[in-house]
Structure 1
Amino acid sequence: MNPSPAPGALTLRLMDTHAGGDVSRIVLGGIDPLPGDTVREQMHYLRDDADGLRKLLLFEPHGVPEMSVDLIVPATDPEAAAGYIIMEVMGYPIYSGSNTICTATAVLEAGIVPKREGVQHFTLEAPAGRVKIEARVENGVVEAITCEGLPSYIDTYRATIHVPTLGEVTYSVAYSGGFYALVDATELGFSLVREEERALADCAHRIVEAIQAERGFSHYTLGDVGPLPFLHFMGPVEQVADDFYRSRSTTYVHPGVICRSTTGTGTSARLALMNHEGRIRPGDRLETVSLRETGFIGTFTGTHREGPHTVVENTITGKAFVLAHSDIVVNCDDPLVECSGLHHILSARHG
């Protein structure tokens, strides 16, 4: 029999999930309603006034920086079933494919959206806006989630930069929910296998630091979204069928952190690059395969123009697995727990 929390204890109700190996910790309860007329504004409040939640769940003693956190909030869009705010070690991305796949699975498993056999459709509200979801359920199991990728485009094509200890590096830059440097893994001597994980993280950090020191990037509607944070290593592209391609891939997101999955936004960035190079047509699919042999499938659905950019419309398909249901007890007397940016949004749970 599990003991109940002490009277007045502060607890968070969680569902831990993973998609492609990337763990997303879904917060289902224990947080007070946040101010803000949109999920994006609520994200800004968390970022600016309550960052303690992100730190609590991503760092010791409760978590590790390789994880992500998704806080379920009421949707402000009348067409959305729920909203969610994404928290990662580098901050608050407005969108993430793996987090969306995990969140969509969690809202089905938690009954926020009733789970039905077969294919069903619903909408979530991310900080980036409305996200259409297609879920495939077989024998009560969520077998696949297909979500919209953010419209993606190539900002820079095959630029070069001098990187200390590496020499001249050729890279492209895509926007797909964040700015990504895209580099050819083979040109840098990598085969994209798990044994290279630490070396990949070190190499990516050097390249990202060099790009950040040299230049910034601006989105056509969002403007300055900060320094380029991400790097995606691209393996050779194999054509599996007339409309299906496969490529080993891996994504760097933070010093020392390589994503377990290939990432949805990284896959969207690859589709933008392949379209820019004339290598795919609408309807074509790309499966990106991670260091851990997991994969996401990106589908190129079309393009439109935004000023000078050809913007690629796409979807990302993957499967999430539920790892655990738990209540975390938040003990502000614990010297490893910093409550100064947290206590004002915690709901009291009485045993």
Structure 2
Amino acid sequence: MSFDSSLDLLLVHCQGEIGKVITGGAPEIPGATILDKMNHINTVDDSLRRFVCFEPRAHVAQTVNLLLLPCRADADAGFIVLQPDRAHPMSGSNAICVVTALLESGRVPITGPETIVRLDTAAGLIVARARCGNGRCLSVSLDNVPAFAVALDAPVRTTAFGTIRADIAFGGVFYALVDAAQVGLTIAPENARALAEAGIAIKADLRGQIPVSHPEMPGLDDIAYVMFREFLEDGSIRTCTTLKPGRVDRSPCGTGSSANLACLHARGEVQIGDVRLSRSTIGGTFTAEAIGETTVGNFRAVLPRITGQAWIYGREELRLAPDDPFPEGFALSDTWGPQVGDL
């Protein structure tokens, strides 16, 4: 990795989940498409990801979004989700952060009370409808990529919990969705550490048990996250997505909510036009609406619309001195969790 002098970032959070946005100074990433560029980061050179995602310049409970020029003519901007384990193709909370950053910084002009922003991602084109007022982005509705269920109630052998049942679905990345009661926990702030460790352990157990591969997007062949869920009496769903090396999503998780919507649709419990409310561990909310149907390969898919809000809370400049002993950063298990050695 090399860059001239510094990286400029906007500090943004979506319902408490930090999604910083690199707005300047990043090196060129080779590739003809955003998917190519993401795969380059994951397979050839991940030094930029490590630089911005690890200590001493970062901490475990955040994501950094690499803002890029779009590779397709019908998009306003491109972005790649950079996290401690790898670069990921799509994230709902981070897309909301990116749209908010683009509009409130003036990189994409606000054109009215509803402004359309088209995002080029490794998972496909995301059309965002931003509700705006007084120069602010007040909420963002993402027309996400098609979401589909791969398997429902699939048996998963685990080392800590015996055989559990999981729904496997794609909502921008692949998820294993597990009812939290199966691991003896409720989704609550005081259980965040235990949920994180349970989810990361189950993700490790999943390896080799349930193969996944997106039929149209090469390289998307991994169950990225385990998301715990609870179905509440008012019809909403409380969610807790767990991320390597060992933390929980602070937001209600847009791609996870899309994956869960696909499972409900596959079961016949959600029809086109239905809306479900997703609640996070700390009480933040997204709405997930089924706006259409399609197919992806042999899979019946639903078209999800995810709505939420983000806030810009500052700016940051990162510099790399030539004699800095930690150009690619470091992570310690005291705060990063039990599987920090896998990064």
**Cα offsets for 1:238-286 (capped at 9, x unmatched):** 44xxxxx411111012131211112111000110111112111111111
Matched, 1:69 2:64: yes
- Residue 344 of structure 1: aligned partner: none
> Offset of 1:119 from its aligned partner?
1.0
Asked if the contact 1:181–1:232 (Cα under 8 Å) also holds between the matched residues in 2, the reply is yes
Q: Distance in 2 between matches of 1:203 and 1:84?
A: 30
Using the size of structure 2 for normalisation, the TM-score is 0.89
- Residue 299 of structure 2: aligned partner: 309
> Offset of 1:80 from its aligned partner?
1.3
1:320 to 310, 317, 321: 310
**Cα offsets for 1:11-57 (capped at 9, x unmatched):** 11110101122111111111243332222223333334431111111
- Residue 181 of structure 1: aligned partner: 176
The residue type paired with residue 211 of structure 2 is G
Map 1:224-303 to 2 at 5 A. Answer: 225-239=220-234, 245-303=235-293
Q: Distance in 2 between matches of 1:253 and 1:201?
A: 7
1:123 to 109, 118, 121: 118
- Residue 333 of structure 2: aligned partner: none
Map 1:25-36 to 2 at 5 A. Answer: 25-36=20-31
> Offset of 1:112 from its aligned partner?
1.1
- Residue 53 of structure 2: aligned partner: 58
The residue type paired with residue 256 of structure 1 is G
1:164 to 159, 164, 167: 159
- Residue 108 of structure 1: aligned partner: 103
**Cα offsets for 1:65-104 (capped at 9, x unmatched):** 3211111111121221111122112211111111110001
Long gaps (5+) in structure 1 = 1-7, 240-244, 340-351
Matched, 1:194 2:189: yes
Q: Distance in 1 between matches of 2:210 and 2:243?
A: 18
Q: Distance in 2 between matches of 1:324 and 1:283?
A: 37
Matched, 1:139 2:104: no
Q: CA RMSD in A?
A: 2.0
More deviation in 54-63 or 299-308? Answer: 299-308
Q: Distance in 2 between matches of 1:307 and 1:227?
A: 17
Q: Distance in 2 between matches of 1:338 and 1:96?
A: 24
Identity %: 29
Using the size of structure 1 for normalisation, the TM-score is 0.87
Asked if the contact 1:61–1:337 (Cα under 8 Å) also holds between the matched residues in 2, the reply is no
Q: Distance in 2 between matches of 1:44 and 1:292?
A: 33
Asked if the contact 2:85–2:244 (Cα under 8 Å) also holds between the matched residues in 1, the reply is yes
The residue type paired with residue 30 of structure 2 is P
The residue type paired with residue 306 of structure 1 is V
The residue type paired with residue 190 of structure 1 is L
More deviation in 223-232 or 140-149? Answer: 223-232
Secondary structure in 2 aligned to 1:219?
coil
1:214 to 209, 225, 228: 209
Q: Distance in 2 between matches of 1:32 and 1:211?
A: 35
More deviation in 22-31 or 155-164? Answer: 155-164
1:89 to 84, 89, 92: 84
- Residue 332 of structure 2: aligned partner: none
The residue type paired with residue 103 of structure 1 is V
2:319 to 310, 323, 329: 329
Q: Distance in 2 between matches of 1:197 and 1:136?
A: 32
Cα 1:210–1:293 shift into 2, 3 Å: same
The residue type paired with residue 115 of structure 1 is I
Q: Distance in 1 between matches of 2:45 and 2:104?
A: 28
- Residue 336 of structure 2: aligned partner: none
Structure with higher RCO (Cα < 8 A, 6+ apart): 1
Secondary structure in 1 aligned to 2:87?
coil
- Residue 154 of structure 1: aligned partner: 149
The residue type paired with residue 274 of structure 2 is D
Long gaps (5+) in structure 2 = 330-343
Larger radius of gyration: 1
Q: Distance in 2 between matches of 1:37 and 1:223?
A: 14
Q: Distance in 2 between matches of 1:164 and 1:36?
A: 40
Secondary structure in 1 aligned to 2:289?
strand
Secondary structure in 1 aligned to 2:145?
strand
Cα 1:160–1:145 shift into 2, 3 Å: same
> Offset of 1:305 from its aligned partner?
2.9
Q: Distance in 1 between matches of 2:41 and 2:154?
A: 36
> Offset of 1:307 from its aligned partner?
4.3
> Offset of 1:194 from its aligned partner?
0.5
